[in-house]
Amino acid sequence: MAMATLELEVDRRSDWHVLKVRGEVDVTTTPRVRAQLISLLSEGTPNVVVDLEGVDFMDSSGLGALVAALKLARSRDGELRLVCEHQRSVRKVLEVTGLERVLDRYDTVDAACVA
């Protein structure tokens, strides 16, 4: 059985940390995503944009990491925003679970950073 692949890239755009996620976010890779989100939300301004355009698959553990990050951001008077316009499989998971009503979703990283 092949290991799930995951790439994380961090960037900074004015007051926002941008976490670009590529690959599969599942039970084996979610701990890395969660740790990176906690790290970003714990330093300086707790505003993070999570770019999910490169995510091929996301399971419930990945959704749990996003919800936990949202709670942490809000507890520190920050925000968590998602970019997920063209990745239909991830958008569908957000819609089916109702998380699209809780997590702010934008079409591009630029749009998320200036909204």
Report the side by side order of strands in the sheet with 6-13. Answer: 6-13, 16-25, 47-58, 79-83, 104-106
Of the pLDDT bands very low, low, confident and very high (cuts 50, 70, 90), residue 1 is very low
Model pTM?
A: 0.92
With cut-offs at 50, 70 and 90, classify the pLDDT of residue 3: low
Q: Which residue has the tokens 């950073």?
A: 113
Summarize pLDDT for 54-102 with one digit per residue, the tens.
999 999 999 999 999 999 999 999 999 999 988 888 888 888 999 889 9
Task: Read off the DSSP letter of residue 101.
Answer: G
In the predicted model, what is the mean pLDDT of residues 12-27? 93
